[in-house]
Structure 1
């Protein structure tokens, strides 16, 4: 028999190969994903769970209670980020979803009982109903779980109601409502006992009890066209020694008019559990699996078969059992698949009402086996509970709350809310009127208050505008510009002079009247979510730093209710604009590498060049600006944060950043380190290489998230397949390999596994050298990192010594750097033409 380790490797290789041809599958008409209690959107695989506040119009609840839990308590799983926050219901509450296409829909409810704020949800007891079905009754979640249901929606809306038990609350961490293909569940199931055809399956509500990938690993939702998760079968096997596994995913075929990838993916049909007969022609035993079920219910059972073990048709005959019933005697797949091996096939059955708390599934040999050892296989299995005669999927009686009651509650709540809202608005208007009169008497009407950075004495600007001042006395922090000067410089904020739009507001090109200096004026939008705090942070940060790869602040203005920042003008705009979407000239690979190197230098300076590290928090291609020589400068420090103290590992802070670039560990734990910038920069590296947006919902689902998509190709060693078409044939393989490895390390799941920006800088400079000239006689040229083994050179390096040559660099054993800043050393070791 094949070794276990080799087998597992082959399984994974087969799965990866199969995913290359996996079709995009069913496109649901209705699709709702909600991250309950979360202030920001959350991405799980290819699904974007919308922040709770964005869909508040769908919810009727007597009290808005949004809480989060300790990140350390959250289990590690595919959707673990969804368990960080919860919406808590103190009374009967309902989500009402508009339905554009009637028919079967998934309902997936995410629960994680933990301590959220002042609520210990481990003792939460509640019921959940949908349409006219009871999904859960007196439910007390015991662990992190996803409850999956499938119901036939017959109206234009779907109402899901949460009802807390007395002296308890209900809660929910996340919610999905998604259309299901009409062909997924049909009325073709066979009744087990008495035998015959079951009628009425289309109207049944179903709860998923088990969905199992026989003989293979977990299939996560992102690798299933209907976002299902398939678990391995090992924990359900009654006697593991009687079973063995087989895999041949690449051979799977879907017949016309039969099974499809929506029924089950190739990674399920391409693996199987079979009899471990070990060549014994006298083997007579069954392979069995046992599942816990609720007594008193009927169960829908779906078997998935695909003959990936036979050498020729009509060799494999076996029996299939549900409990003691032989539901498929002398089963021959060849007779059902036109004698084509490895063809996907499935069978549906409905059990009688089960009196036991277990359901056993078995496969075993048939007396018709013609040659060789007796065998039997099973590729996949699904078991779903069916609602009882009272429309319930719960063993405990519960009455579905009538919609009229809910509507009365909603009406009362809406009425009270409107009354309170009107009162608050009137009070606010009166307050603002009084405030405005008072300010008018005082001679000014500012709402954004001017401030002094260090509290120093202001000095005059020294131009015709006498009201201009510097930020603080005795400093070179830049000028405080009068609004009239900014208006004149930007041609009265001419819309044709707009060169960019961001979260803070519009950016205008400008020319200072006194000396003709070109500037960029970023004018704050009063309605923007970014405000005084970001304005002040930007000034404070840029006032402290002077670096050729950080954009320079020239001044600011805070007159006439304005918040305006004045920067040096960057002739070539943003890096993003040169990659896609703006029609600007494409960049060569060398130019892109030099831009990445310059950006890395700027970030490395932020992390190491000050008494405490400064974390940018919003690293993205739109915040990397290019001057007339395409030299990169990092910009936009409104979200920047001073790093941890020497004796600390992180800064605990609310999550901020840009979607697609956000460090997942920072999001999960709300603990900020410099490695969060490193993760974002890794996304930028792939953006530079592929020249496409980091999130593009218009693409096939496996391509929507750039980082995830590029990482899959990087792990396959085929990154060259997805590069910008303008770069095809123009990147040396070693340079691409080094660049890809650097981006991969930046995107490590945990911050401790990511390199520092100094390490990233070194690797990018090495990638440039590999592009400019092949390094000969380097035994470690193909290593994943190029830093550590330079330590002998580092330890003996003299900053004044300019004789160190590329030959020294080539001769060194290049490997990895652990926490050593090398940007000042590298220029002494590499060839000058590579800069």
Structure 2
């Protein structure tokens, strides 16, 4: 009995130790500095020891040593009460400097409690706080307990935090922390709240925690969080608390291998949730909404935490998740996302556009998929402000509370007077600007971008009668606004066929019956005049069967409108996923890839200087009534480097998921950046899934990274579109995968040219249709090097001035390689490659 009792006691002791260990992180920070500012002795907060300000004085450079204590003040009861007993005062700019042993993301936590001390009333302090790269606080003033948390990427060997008094005031701080952040905690990618583009580059962003909220549960203090974070209850943020009810099942929470961990959020967050108070009423139809105060003019990273602790079986819970007015997770099913597992922790990251309101609204609501009962849940929310283009996080400081502070009458009066004066000045400047603008418009009403480079041409616009133009004059693609209104039924919303970064695209019919696509610029779009002009410049110069043709443009009435030939079958993307189009065969997909490659190859080689598209993606490859591919959207295009240069240095632009990582790192653009993006398209065509899908497990979110892992393991056949299973010849798939892999090489010099890619895709098609005899190098990773002279040594000849003209190509060497007839491989290339 004694021996059995000993074993039982040991078992209970083990369980207790295991339970206790779950409260602490397995992560051991490389850098951890905690300072109790102004204190003569060390202080303890939970498991953390905050060093005395005197012992930590080696970190601080300040011309004065002013320490104050809160004797006689009533300190609020909180987990940081011990830190609020003392403070350090700065009458001049002063800097804390910390040695960083491991570069990477670090937390900076600043603790403020303004009390009254001899000669100093901390409530009157006004000051700024900054690092070398970022402004954290500007003219900050606080009359209550405030904890500021920032996450910054430290790349140098030290981190400096500088406190600078404003005007004749002073600065103070009660406590300060600098702690390493686990590398996986914040990735580099996130979905955008407003598609179609996604956000890439979070690693370089400084972040400020605006809200960290435990939905449906109580406050989670830093003592119960593995990374010493505080989570506040959600009730104060609920727009209508009566629509939500709380649920709790902490013991059921599981963390999946390779997915969310306790460092992402503790069990006390994933184990509680706010859910619709629908009471299983099938007629319930409402959203549960939370509103969070934010600063205008900044983008925000929003992390939504989910754990299905309410369902009794898989696939019972379907719901929608909204941020602002965007449905970011439509018909969301947690068990399908997590392989059928219930009560499994996961999260999704989203980045907003620059906010033009002072609140972020997050809602959950029912979905009608599979006749599911109306229900929706949310377990946790984190909102982090992202630094602006100046590297600043400074804005109006909002306490992490849903309660609104009382207005100061004097401040309001001053603001009103200032606003009135500002409005008067704005009106004066507006009328002056408007008058000058009108004068400029009267002098030059029309922007005509292009010359004909010495050729006699006939205008391609169908908006008016053709006009012959001699050398040295301009194309006249300009269309009257009235004609475009008529063609689009006055921009009928039911005629909208797409929405992009530039604006809406309408289907239209010109007076002669020609179908057109009309792209109307949105004044609020981030794309504007530069993209509008670039599009006209590029498409007015080029005529090619695999480039979408420009029919006209309009710049009347402050409009920016582009008119293109109508592509009956829409985008390649819509045929791969997200619509009701029937699945395409492998041959159809290859022919589309070959057509797009021809268009890009022509851009790179068919003009005196290469043209780099910069936004190659499946949404910019359009299909006509015969599924012939044409490359579209040249608003971001750039002419390539001069002959004696290797690249063009330019700001990074493109679409998230397709962006060349070398271009992103070095901001040096070459044709190989298009090749990388095209390689992503190839995997997209093969796998028929989005290039970024935040609803998937972390290792699957990025298509290029995920597909490359399978390709390098020789198992690409495991992830292809299910409709293609058993329909692709192994040799064809192998060569296709090798071609895509080459395109996605980390360095541009290792990637093939578009001409090389074109040959390989033609070869892939031949391998699919028949076994090739006498293949000399069936196991090669590419046949690229041998063939590039044949591809590049050509020139155009003859008249190319009509849509039916033929571009002639001459090959510099033999017409048979590896048993493949060059005339067959390049059949379409020879017929009409460049016009």
TM-score by length of 2: 0.50
Equivalent in 628, 643, 651 of residue 640 of structure 2: 643
SS of 2:134 mapped into structure 1:
strand
Alignment partner, residue 174 of structure 1: 206
CA distance in 1, matches of 2:430, 2:793: 68
Which residue pairs with 1:705 in the alignment?
702
Q: Identify if the C-alpha distance between structure 1 residues 726 and 149 changes in structure 2 by more than 3 Å, giving closer, same or farther.
A: closer
1:113 aligns with 2:156: yes
Question: What's the counterpart of residue 508 of structure 1?
Answer: 506
Offset from partner CA, 1:144-169 (integer Å, 9 cap, x none): x758899xxxxxxxxxxxxxxxxxxx
Q: Tell me what 2:630 maps to.
A: 633
Cα distance change of structure 1 residues 179 and 615 upon mapping to structure 2, 3 Å threshold: same
Q: Deviation of residue 434 (structure 1)?
A: 5.5
Residues 649-669 of structure 1, C-alpha deviations (whole Å, 9 max, x = no match) = 111111111111111221122
Q: Which residue of 1 aligns with 2:160?
A: 124
- Mark the CA change 1:502 to 1:689 in structure 2 (over 3 Å): closer, same or farther: same
Shift of 1:545: 0.8
Displacement, 1:674?
1.1
Q: What's 2:663 paired with?
A: 666
Change (3 A) 1:825 1:79: farther
| SS of equivalent to 1:508 | strand
Alpha-carbon distance between aligned partners in 2 of 1:603 and 1:800, rounded to the nearest angstrom: 19
Question: Secondary structure, in 3 states, of the residue corresponding to 1:782?
Answer: coil
Which residue in the other structure is 2:449 paired with? 453
Q: Distance in 2 between matches of 1:772 and 1:791?
A: 24
Q: Which residue of 2 aligns with 1:580?
A: 577
Aligned pairs, number: 503
Instruction: Give the match for residue 766 of structure 1.
Output: 763
- 1:733 equivalent to 2:730? Answer yes
- Any residues of structure 2 matched to 1:264-663 within 5 Å, and which? 424-433=422-431, 450-454=446-450, 477-513=475-511, 515-663=512-660
Equivalent in the alignment of 1:88: 135
Query: In 2, distance between residues paired with 1:729 and 1:174?
Result: 48
Alignment TM-score, normalising by the size of structure 1: 0.50
Q: 1:134 aligns with which of 163, 176, 200?
A: 176
Matched position secondary structure for 2:625:
coil
2:800 — aligned with what? none
1:685 aligns with 2:721: no
Q: Secondary structure of 1:714's match? A: helix
The 8 Å contact of residues 802 and 828 in structure 1, kept in 2 or not, is answered as no
Structure 2 unmatched runs, 5+: 1-21, 26-100, 107-130, 165-170, 186-202, 216-221, 230-255, 272-396, 796-808
CA RMSD, aligned part only? 5.7
1:55-204 mapped onto 2 (5 Å cutoff): 86-89=133-136, 109-113=152-156, 124-126=160-162, 134-136=176-178, 174-175=206-207, 202=224
Distance 1:582 1:706 in 2: 19
In 1, distance between residues paired with 2:462 and 2:628?
Answer: 34
Matched residues in 2 for 1:548 and 1:710: separation?
Answer: 31
Residue 127 of structure 1, CA deviation: 8.4
- 1:548 is displaced (CA, Å) by 1.0
1:641 Cα deviation after fit: 0.7
The 3-state SS of whatever aligns with 1:667 is: helix
Find the aligned partners of 1:560 and 1:494 in 2 and give their Cα distance: 18
Distance 1:76 1:470 in 2: 68
In the aligned structure 2, how far is the partner of 1:131 from the partner of 1:824? 77
SS in 2 for 1:124: strand
Distance in 1, matches of 2:223 and 2:683, equals 48
Aligned partner of residue 551 in structure 2, secondary structure: strand
Greater Cα offset, 613-622 or 704-713: 704-713
- Could you say which residue in structure 2 is the equivalent of 1:720? 717
Q: 2-side partners of 1:451 and 1:829: how far apart?
A: 37
DSSP-derived class of the 2:486 partner: helix
Contact conserved, 1:108 with 1:149, CA < 8 A, in 2? no
Provide Cα deviations, 1:282-304, integer angstroms capped at 9, x if missing partner: xxxxxxxxxxxxxxxxxxxxxxx
1:352-397 CA-partner distances (Å, limit 9, x unpaired): xxxxxxxxxxxxxxxxxxxxxxxxxxxxxxxxxxxxxxxxxxxxxx
In structure 2, the CA distance between the partners of 1:431 and 1:712, relative to structure 1 (3 Å rule), is same
C-alpha separation in 2, matches of 1:583 and 1:660: 24
- What is the Cα deviation at residue 113 of structure 1? 3.2
Q: Secondary structure of 1:599's match?
A: helix
- Post-superposition offset of 1:522: 1.0
Change (3 A) 1:568 1:203: closer
* 1:810 and 2:809 aligned: no
Question: In the alignment, is the contact (CA less than 8 A) between 2:609 and 2:642 conserved in 1?
Answer: yes
Q: Which residue does 1:749 correspond to in 2?
A: 746
Preserved CA contact (<8 Å) 1:470 1:477: no
Unpaired segments ≥5 residues, structure 1? 1-24, 29-74, 115-121, 140-144, 151-170, 183-199, 208-220, 230-257, 263-400, 813-822
